[in-house]
Amino acid sequence: MLKLRHALLILSVFSSIFFSIFTSPVLFAKNFDVIAHRGASGYLPEHTLEAATLAFAMGPDFIEQDAVITKDGIAVVLHDIHLETVTNVEQVFPNRAREDGRFYALDFTLAELRTLQVHERANNNGEQVFTKRYTGNIANFTVATLEEHYELITQLNREFNTDVGVYTEVKSPAWHAEQGVDASQIVIASLTRFNLSNKDANSYLQCFDFNEIKRIRTELNYAGKVVLLMGENSWGESTTDYNWVKSEAGMKVVANYADGLGPWLGQLLDEQAMTAGKVVPAAWVEFAHNEGFVIHPYTFRQDALPPGMTETQLLNTLKHVVKVDGVFTDHVPPVKAWLEAQSE
Ligand code: CA
């Protein structure tokens, strides 16, 4: 017993020394999660294995996957339930659009999706959304499955003896359910297969739909870390009332099911104070901190910064004013460079 107490004392002394050595700025730097949004999407077509590989090489804390389901019930990594914004589906399968003129991943088998070429995100007129990004059209980027992404990251982690996490979003679960598909169950099965679904796994499961998050926790008994993404009610992302989420009462309820929140950048600051020239967090941020949520806002884009803000101003505001725990970024290197400058 004495030995144990002695050992504990030594341990506590050591840990306090350890803590003082690594107290900010180094510890501080480690406390800000860099999440590669859709892989290295600032440099290569989003969500391809190539984009995930490049992201890995940039040393983020997490790499994000968005998951939609194929006709044969397989989770593939795509941001939208539609295909035409990031693939040549309209050329390969011109007759497979639904009545609304759109091509749905759910109407295609994995084998069919494999025949598509993935390109940089385009708008409805076929113009590239981010004009400075990848403009090539010869290299054949393809659609990959969620498990291929998990395998890639798991293998690279083993080979480089590191632990880059995964950060997977279940896309449009209510829409999938209307089509008779349980998207969350399929995604969770894949997470579980790669040992990424337990509480301690270096993994987050994210969703815009609070009803689905409740279902993931209760009906599907998911034990891993879960993040509720926050949009605006006007976006129609889900039936979740984000104004309620942002209320103190709402935050308390959400905290029963979710470990973290994923707001968009426009929700972080108090708009009224801004008009008076003050930069202060929006009211909900304090409620969220009180509930102990991890907060990971989206999205830092070097080529689409909020109006009137430099990269450094944005990142400093996130960390020092709003006090968030990291950021989704299309561009990992500038965020890492900013973090390193913090520790100098
Ligand atoms: Ca996402």
Query: pLDDT tens digit string along 159-191?
Result: 999 999 999 999 999 999 999 999 999 999 999
Classify residue 71 as exposed, middle or buried by CB count within 10 Å of its CB (0-12, 13-18, 19+). Answer: middle
Q: Write down the pLDDT at residue 304.
A: 97
Q: How far is the CA of 112 from the centre of ligand 1 (A)?
A: 24
* Domains in the chain: boundaries: 2-82+144-342
Pull the structure tokens for residue 221. Answer: 């008994």
From the list 47, 79, 149, 331, the catalytic residue is 79
Would you identify the CATH topology of the domain 2-82+144-342?
Answer: TIM Barrel (3.20.20)
- Is 79 labeled as catalytic in the residue annotation? yes
Residue with tokens 């976006």: 235
Quote the CA–CA distance of 206 and 43 in Å, as a whole number.
24
Question: What one-character-per-residue DSSP string does 92-121 give?
Answer: HSTT---TTS--BGGGS-HHHHHTSPB-S-
* Dist CA 213 CA 191 (whole Å): 16
Total-model pTM: 0.91
Dist. CA 205–CA 259, nearest whole Å: 10
Catalytic status, residue 37: yes
Q: What are the pLDDT digits (tens) for 110-160?
A: 999 999 999 999 998 999 999 999 999 999 999 999 999 999 999 999 999
Cα 37 to ligand 1 centroid, rounded to whole Å: 7
Q: What is the pLDDT of residue 30?
A: 52
pLDDT at 181: 98
Q: What is the mean pLDDT of the chain?
A: 92
Is the peptide bond preceding residue 25 cis, with omega within 30 degrees of 0?
Answer: yes
Task: Give me the average pLDDT of each 10-residue run along the chain (344 residues).
Answer: 38 36 42 97 98 98 98 98 98 98 98 98 95 96 99 98 98 98 98 98 98 98 98 96 98 98 98 93 98 98 95 97 98 98 84
Tell the residue number behind the tokens 């008994």, with chain if given.
221
Label the pairing between strands 165-170 and 75-77: unpaired
